[in-house]
Chains A and B, each alone.
Chain A
Amino acid sequence: MSNINKLFNSELKVINIGLEKFYQDLKEQKVQVINVDFRPTAGGNKKMASLLSKLM
């Protein structure tokens, strides 16, 4: 059995990063899951992320 199949045949414990919908779906399916409220810096705006990085 491949490693990936071993994983899916075991009890899943999931850390969801970003979109909360995936977390909600897993929760409804009684999968053990926690959600990390991650957003990219400046919502992915490269110019703003670059400006912020200059102030680090």
Chain B
Amino acid sequence: MVAEKINKANEEAVKRMMSAQPTLVGIGTAGKDIPNMTKKTILHAGPPITWDKMSGPLRGAVIGGLIYEGLASNEEEAIALAESGEITFDSCHHHNAVGPMAGVVTYSMPVWIVENKTYGNYAYCTLNEGLGKVLRFGSYDQEVIDRLKWMENTLAPVLKSALEIAGEIDLKTMIAQVLQMGDEGHNRNKAGTSLLIRELAPYIVQTDFSNEVKAEVLKFMHSNDHFFLNLSMPAAKCSMDPLEDIKYSTIVYTMARNGTEFGIRVAGLGNRWFTAPAEKIDGLYFPGYSEKDANPDIGDSVITETYGIGGFAMASAIPIVQFVGGTPQDAINYSKSMYEITEAENDTYKIPVLDFRGTATGIDIRKVVDTGIRPIINTGIAHKDPGVGQVGAGLVRPPMKCFEDALEAFVKMLEEEGVV
């Protein structure tokens, strides 16, 4: 009886995931477009966390965010302000937003606006800064702040203007295409970035900006293979949010990390987080760095795996093993093993090398606990200290405790209702 209720609820959950229509509808600013933002609100990746418990890269990004907003003029002032209690820190996920790595979003930052046309809900994400010394990896020197200002004052206005001419862009079709082109939508975004440039370039040239500015914008996008990540993430986010509060569903609709803790949320358990200490990443390091330098797992980008792409589609992106480690066969095995813990096979996102089998979709906490197989995530590695940046990339899994605690809470809820 209870199994029937759960199975029916989970069918509804994956139906909502697969019927979602994530669509890029424009560019706005965090302060104007993201719900409940104030000038002193700082959003961050992962489950909620207080300043005193934040990891190095998240602290670094907060420091950078406060300097960028003009709320502090240097590191010391920023730390004092962060410690003062005047700043409201909150999870991006509580504001319909997602952010890669530290995921810091502040009032003035430009954001992509993505609408799920099927359910009418929105998701927001900042624009991607590139790799290396960038805010999302905890860097905050003048070069980082200058780039953020250029993105606010040049990149975003040009892209906004181009989008107004181009009209909406269907991200679902684009993600389906990039899986056929060697991307998986999390750590390999070469194809997605290329397709986005192809979509936007004809309209960028029609804007009223100078040729020099248009060239700068195109070069910036061209130089950053991860530019599309900040679109695959809100596409996933707005596709997953309609799962919140599907009674009796055991499907995971959020996975996220703040660099200290990993958190999940389950459709049948509303917006409650189940957290455990974030794990170390097994990865490849840039020259001069090793695992001694690494911060534990961080970022909202695991929303891609939650949605059934990213690590779940690694078999679509064999070359990624040169970035995150492992062999081509490993990539195939990772994708295949995810069918053991999911409800369905995706009807849109297909993996060519698996005879165009749909990606594993809809993580079921029951199956994770039963099999002991945890979701596979490929991810960037941030330095553990503020101000350094990215030091590598690799593979990681969520702590099993998140799923065990969620299962326990789920059964307890059913017991209280007299269902079991």
A positions within 8 Å CB-CB of B: 39, 41-43, 45, 48, 51-52, 54-56
Q: Does B132 contact A (CB under 8 A)?
A: no
Which secondary structure characterizes the binding site on chain B?
helix
Known: A55-B2, A55-B3. A48 touches B404 (CB 8 A): yes
Within 8 Å of chain A (Cβ to Cβ): is B86?
no
B407: which of A39, A41, A51, A56 is its contact (CB, 8 Å)?
A: A51
Q: B366, A55: Cβ atoms under 8 Å?
A: yes
- Closest Cβ of chain A to B397, distance in Å, is 14
Contact A52 B370, beta carbon cutoff 8 Å: yes
- A56 touches which of B3, B410, B414 (Cβ 8 Å): B3
Interface residue ranges, B against A (CB under 8 Å): 2-3, 6, 250, 366, 369-372, 404, 407-408, 410-411, 414-415, 420
Determine how close the nearest CB of chain A comes to the CB of B1; give it in whole angstroms. Answer: 10
On whether the beta carbons of A55 and B408 are closer than 8 Å, the reply is no
Complex: how many Å from CA A52 to CA B407? 8
Name the prevailing secondary structure of the A interface residues. helix
A-B contact pairs, 25 of them (CB 8 A): A39-B371, A41-B370, A42-B369, A42-B370, A42-B372, A43-B372, A45-B404, A51-B369, A51-B407, A51-B408, A51-B411, A52-B369, A52-B370, A52-B407, A54-B411, A54-B415, A55-B3, A55-B6, A55-B250, A55-B366, A55-B410, A55-B411, A55-B414, A56-B2, A56-B3
- A10 CB to closest chain B CB (Å) equals 36
Which of B6, B366, B415 has the most chain A CB atoms closer than 10 A to its own CB? B366
Chain A residue, CB-CB nearest to B3: A56
Q: Which residues of A contact B410 (CB under 8 A)?
A: 55
**Separation in Å of the B343 CB from the closest CB of chain A?**
14
Contact yes or no, A48 B407, CB < 8 A: yes
Residues of A within 8 A of B250 (CB): 55
Please, how many angstroms separate the alpha-carbon atoms of A38 and B411 in the complex?
A: 25
CB contacts (< 8 Å) of B414 on chain A: these are: 54-55
Q: Quick check: A55 and B420 within 8 Å, CB to CB?
A: yes
A45 to B403, CA, bound (A): 13
